[in-house]
Amino acid sequence: MSLAQRDQSIIWHPYTQMKTAELPVAIVRGESALLYAEDGKEYIDAVASWWVNLHGHAHPYIAEKVAKQLQTLEHVIFAGFTHQPAVELAEGLLKILPEGQSKVFYSDNGSTAVEVALKMAIQYWANIGTPKKKIIAFRDSYHGDTFGAMAVSSRSAFTAPFWSYLFDVSFIDVPTPGNEAETINQLEAFAIAGDVAAFIYEPLVLGTAGMVMYTPEVLDRLMQICQQHNILTIADEVMTGFGRTGKLFASHYLQHKPDMVCLSKGLTGGTMALGVTTCNDKIYDAFLADDKSKTLFHGHSYTANPVACAAGIASLELTISQETQQNLERIATRHQTFAEEIKQLPGIREVRQQGTILAIEFADESTSYFSNLRDTLYNYAMEQGVILRPLGNIIYVIPPYCITNEQLDKVYKTIRGMQQLIVNC
Ligand SMILES: *Cc1c(COP(=O)(O)O)cnc(C)c1O
């Protein structure tokens, strides 16, 4: 039996209808932007393995640091104990995060980073003696798959069975170009009505919604309203962090600074699961008390795992290197050139680009037709040796920063091929 067949007999995969799923592709090795399958075929990883990989697969520098850490200290309970990787990573992150962030709380992934931020926000108001109940979020947002994270995410088909278990959230529309004024009005109405604890948002790019983009100007206006009405702000930079949008963090495009930031995905360069929630002194200080009930009672068995933190430090060094900064510009420039070309072609509704993220929305006349087309497009790209995973009628490129120009050209060529498939069918 092949690896894929052994998998299929016992493993339940994420976001996968197992009844109709094709055999998974067994990957045996990765190097730079390439993945190698069991059958010898090679693939360009144009989606950075679910948006996590920054510097390429099996990066030798990260591997070396991880191996060394494994032989030094693999794990220790993080209540009452600490270690060098946790401290160094926290120091490194605070140096580059938006101004005002001063404390680092570790957890395991993006969803837990969001849970922690929500708990910090809700308990902040309880601790200072003015409990507030409501959370504001974008209607199409995605903040993770645990219950709190699902609650502040879009009420989509993905979460439908759980709707009655999710707490109420005040949703506002995504302020895409043309809709800014309406969103500002919606936020203002909720702010004036009061009882709002926090506003959580994906800054500039809503990933799972289909790489939906909006401007820093309108987000600044929304944050200004929040600050005027004493509403805490939570920047979910799980996807946008570490250079994805062209700057180290999407929040760096803004004048206003968030109270809390959630990080994961690129945090370890895509090597290990790790989550971080950071906050400013205002939040942190509200938990300092002789009264033990004001403690943040949250933690995970693997909180601040030293090996994951070591990977985080290594990845951070690579991220702030000149080479990576040049790569961010190179990819953004090439994306722009390709965007200009493809947006003229028939069958294309919209092309969006922000830094290293490129999204192409195909015109979709009929949804059922398109759900079939999604598989057709995916399979076509796989045949070409390119991993491009459409979100409905939207195809996006979010590559490792080490992707070469030749590899990018092959990705673009594959997208042109998809466009041809659409107009010809
Ligand atoms: C992926 C993602 C999450 C959830 O992270 P997981 O590590 O998958 O739990 C949260 N927020 C955003 C913006 C994300 O893109």
Q: Please report, for residues 108, 241, 290, 297, 402, the alpha-carbon distance to residue 301 in angstroms, rounded to integers and kept in the order given.
A: 9, 25, 26, 13, 34
For residues 127, 298, 226 and 168, what is the CA-based torsion angle, rounded to 10 degrees? -100
Give the closest residue to 360 by CA, choosing from 421, 416, 399, 403: 416
User: For ligand 1, is residue 209 a contact (CB within 6 Å)?
Assistant: no
Asked if 109 contacts 276 with a C-beta cutoff of 8 angstroms, the reply is no
Q: Is 142 a catalytic residue?
A: yes
For the chain, the distance separating the N- and C-terminal CA atoms, rounded to the nearest angstrom, is 37
Q: Is 134 a catalytic residue?
A: no
Distance CA 351, CA 390 (A): 14
Neighbours of 17 (CB within 10 A): 7
366 pLDDT tier (thresholds 50, 70, 90): low
Using the mean position of ligand 1's atoms as its centre, give its distance from the Cα of residue 318 in Å: 22
Q: Which of 265, 396, 401, 412 is catalytic?
A: 265
Give the closest residue to 360 by CA, choosing from 19, 54, 89, 46: 46
Distance CA 90, CA 78 (A): 14
Q: Is 284 a catalytic residue?
A: no
Is the dihedral angle over the CA atoms 67, 68, 69, 74 positive or is it negative?
Answer: positive
CA angle 106, 137, 147 (to 5 degrees): 55
- Residues 175-192: pLDDT tens digits? 999 999 999 999 999 999
The pTM (predicted TM-score) of the whole model is 0.97
423 pLDDT tier (thresholds 50, 70, 90): confident
Mean pLDDT of the chain: 96
- Residues 322-357: pLDDT tens digits? 999 999 999 999 999 999 999 999 999 999 999 999
Give residues with Cβ within 8 angstroms of 133, minimum separation 6: 195, 197
Q: Is 265 a catalytic residue?
A: yes
Distance CA 231, CA 195 (A): 9
Asked if 108 contacts 274 with a C-beta cutoff of 8 angstroms, the reply is yes
Distance CA 98, CA 105 (A): 16
- Residues 104-143: pLDDT tens digits? 999 999 999 999 999 999 999 999 999 999 999 999 999 9
Closest atom, ligand 1, to C-alpha of 149 = 10
